Structure 1
Amino acid sequence: MIAAPAFAQDAAPAGPAAPPSAFTVTGGATLISDYRFRGLSQTNTHAAIQGTIGVSHSSGLYIGTWGSSIDDYIAAGSDQEIDLYGGYKKTVAGWAFDGGMLYYFYSGNAKGTTTDFFEPYLNASHTFGPVGVKVGLNYSWKQHALRCDYDPRCPGARQDNLYTYGELSGAIPHTGVTITGHIGETWGRSYLTNGLKDYTDWSLTAAYTWKSLTFSVAYVDTDVKQGEIVSPSGRNIGKAGVVGGVGIAF
C-alpha cells in the first residue's frame, strides 16, 4: 500500500503546477447573543444564528449571501433575514473602495405584505500605521417596504433611508485582540427608524481569532429614548447591551 503511490509517481512524473484560481470562496457561521442592526435588536434581545457564503474574483468583483434568524416583529411574521449582495472592490493610493448593492429578503412574511428592499452601499478604508479607518454610507431610495404610515409622524406610502458611519480599529500588541469602535447615524423617518426622524448608534467591539474561530464581545448603545422603539412584547430594543458571539470561518 505504501509502494504503489511511489511507483505511480516514478512512472508518471508530475506536470507543471496548475495556475491559482481567479475565484475565492469564503463562508462562515456565527452564534450571537443578540442580533443588532444599526444598534437595534432584531431578535427581541435574544440569541441568533447567522451564516454567510461568498465568491470573489481577482478582478475585484464579488457576490454572496448572508442570513440571520430574527424575531417575527421585524418583517410581518418572518423569522429569517436573507441578504443578497454583489459589488466591486478596488484599491487606489492605499484606500480600499468597496461599492455594491444589498437586497434584504424576509422569507415567510405575511401574505400581501411588502418587506423586502434594495440598498446600495459605498465605503472606503485605509490603514495608518497600527490604526485602521473606515467610512461609509448605505442609502435606500423610496420603497414600499420602508413605509411607516402607521405613525402620524411618517405619512406616505413610501419612504427612503440613509445610514452613514465611521470606524476606527487596531490590534492590542502581543494579545491577538482587535478593538473596533463604530459610530453611525440613521437619517429620515422610515420603518427602519420606527418613525423617528433620526438616531445615533455606537459600539465598541473586542475580537480574538484562534485558528478558524473568532470570539467577540461588544458594547452596543443608541440615543433612542426609553419607549421610543419597543418590540410588541414591550422590550426597549435600542437600549444599551453587551453582545457576545463565536464564529467559525471555512
Structure 2
Amino acid sequence: MLTSIRGLTAATLSAGLFLSATPALASQTVPEEAKTDIHTGDIEISEDLLAASAALDGTDARAPALSLTPATERASAPIEDGTANSVEGESGFTFSANIAFATEYRFRGVALTDGEFAVQGGFDIAHESGFYVGTWASNLDETTVGYGSAELDVYGGWGGNLTDGVSADVGVIAYLYPDAGPGDFDYVEFYGSLTFGLGPAELTGGIAYAPDQDSLGSTDNLYLYADVGVGIPDTPITVTGHIGYTDGFLTFTTDSEAVDWSIGAEVAVGPATLGAAYVGVEGDALIDPTGTFTDDAFVVTLSASF
C-alpha cells in the first residue's frame, strides 16, 4: 500500500608531449652558414651562427606545456573513494528499497490481516526531475475481505518542492490482488498531496480518488486525509497523527462513509524506523462479530529503507 521509491597512461602523455613538440622541429631549416664537409662530416659554423646560438641561449625557447581539456583532466585524475560507483547517480536515477514488519496491516483503519502479522516491502526508482515509479507488496488474510492472500501495488508519479517549505506529490496507483477469487478486485486510484514544513513539524493534506470501476461495485471512492509529524528537538523521536475520511465503496459500510484515525510515535536510527500507533475507524456497520476487522488496535511496525 502506498503510504502517505568511470586515465591517461604514461604512454599517452608521452605521445602528447612528442606531438606538441613536432611542429617546432618540422619548421626548423639548416641555415646556409652551417655546411657539412661531405668528406670529413665536420660541420663548419660561421661566426654569425655562433652569435645567433648565443642569443638563443638567453631566450625562452621551451616547447609549450601540455594543455589538458577538462574531459582529459577528469580522465587522468585518480578515482576518489565514494565516486568509483557513481555511474547510477550521474545518470540522474536513484534506486531504493524498503521492508517492514508489522503486528498487523491496517488500510485506512481497516484490518486486512485479521489481526495477524504482516510482512511488507517494495522498490522505487526515482529521477532527479522528480518523476518516480515503484511497487509495494503485503500479505493479507484470505477471508477478511476476500482479496486473497497478497496485495501488490504498482504506482508512478511526480514529487518535489514547489517553494521553500512546500512540496507536492501526485500520481496514480494500481491495487492488484493476484490470487483473489473469482470476480473483479483490482482497481486504480489517483492521488495528490501537499506537505508544509513548519519548523520541526510537517503537515500533509491529501486526496485519493478511485473512479467508477467494476471492482468497486460500479461506484467511485473518495478519500481525504491529513497527517502531522512533529520532531522532538535533539532526539530521533517524531510524534505522529492522522485522520482520514472515506466516502464510497472502500468504507466497507452500509452508508459508504467512514472516518479513520491514528496517533503514535516513531524512532529513527540510521535506515531503520520503529513506530507504534493506536489506530481506529468509525462508521456504521463497521464492528464485525470477530472484533478484529475494524476494532481499535495498537500496531507496532519496524521498517527500513535502503
Note the C-alpha offset of 1:175. 2.2
- The aligned residue for residue 175 of structure 1 is 235
Letter in 2 for 1:99: V
- The aligned residue for residue 135 of structure 1 is 205
- The aligned residue for residue 259 of structure 2 is 200
Note the C-alpha offset of 1:202. 0.7
Question: The residue matched to 1:246 in structure 2 has which SS?
Answer: strand
Letter in 2 for 1:14: P
In the TM superposition, what whole-angstrom CA distance separates every residue of 1:102-161 from its partner, at most 9, and x where no partner exists? 0000011113x10000000000001011211100000000111112xxxxxxxxxx1110
- CA–CA distance in structure 2, aligned partners of residues 135 and 57 of structure 1: 24
Unmatched 5+ stretches in structure 2: 1-8, 12-75
- The aligned residue for residue 121 of structure 2 is 51
Note the C-alpha offset of 1:200. 0.6
- CA–CA distance in structure 2, aligned partners of residues 165 and 68 of structure 1: 22
Note the C-alpha offset of 1:170. 1.1
- CA–CA distance in structure 2, aligned partners of residues 168 and 62 of structure 1: 24
Question: The residue matched to 2:177 in structure 1 has which SS?
Answer: strand
- The aligned residue for residue 104 of structure 1 is 175
Letter in 2 for 1:159: T
Letter in 1 for 2:283: V
In the TM superposition, what whole-angstrom CA distance separates every residue of 1:189-247 from its partner, at most 9, and x where no partner exists? x144343321111111211111222111011112236x5343xx733421111000111
- The aligned residue for residue 150 of structure 1 is none
- The aligned residue for residue 245 of structure 1 is 301
Matching residue within 171, 179, 184 for 2:244: 184
Q: Which has the larger radius of gyration?
A: 2
Matching residue within 267, 281, 290 for 1:222: 281
Structure with the bigger percentage of helix: 2
Please give the TM-score of this superposition, normalised by the length of structure 1.
Answer: 0.83
- CA–CA distance in structure 1, aligned partners of residues 207 and 144 of structure 2: 22
Note the C-alpha offset of 1:77. 5.2
Structure with the bigger percentage of strand: 1
- The aligned residue for residue 234 of structure 1 is 290
Check whether the contact 1:75–1:106 (CA below 8 A) recurs between aligned residues.
Answer: no
Check whether the contact 1:44–1:235 (CA below 8 A) recurs between aligned residues.
Answer: no
Letter in 1 for 2:297: G
- The aligned residue for residue 269 of structure 2 is 210
**Identical pairs, percent:** 29
Check whether the contact 2:112–2:145 (CA below 8 A) recurs between aligned residues.
Answer: no
Note the C-alpha offset of 1:75. 5.5
Letter in 2 for 1:86: G
Task: State the structure with bigger RCO (CA 8 A, min sep 6), 1 or 2.
Answer: 1
Note the C-alpha offset of 1:15. 6.0
Where do residues 104-123 of structure 1 align in structure 2 (5 Å cutoff)? 104-111=175-182, 113-123=183-193
- The aligned residue for residue 135 of structure 2 is 65
In the TM superposition, what whole-angstrom CA distance separates every residue of 1:33-61 from its partner, at most 9, and x where no partner exists? 01010011010111100001100000110
Question: The residue matched to 2:235 in structure 1 has which SS?
Answer: coil
Asked if 1:14 is matched to 2:75, the reply is no
The 1:23–1:128 alpha-carbon spacing in structure 2 relative to 1, beyond 3 Å, is same
> Pairwise CA RMSD of aligned residues?
2.3
Indicate the larger mover: 138-147 or 86-95. Answer: 86-95
Question: The residue matched to 2:275 in structure 1 has which SS?
Answer: strand
- CA–CA distance in structure 2, aligned partners of residues 73 and 48 of structure 1: 15
Note the C-alpha offset of 1:10. 10
- The aligned residue for residue 153 of structure 1 is none
Note the C-alpha offset of 1:68. 0.5
Question: The residue matched to 2:254 in structure 1 has which SS?
Answer: coil
- The aligned residue for residue 62 of structure 2 is none
Letter in 2 for 1:238: T
- The aligned residue for residue 158 of structure 2 is 88
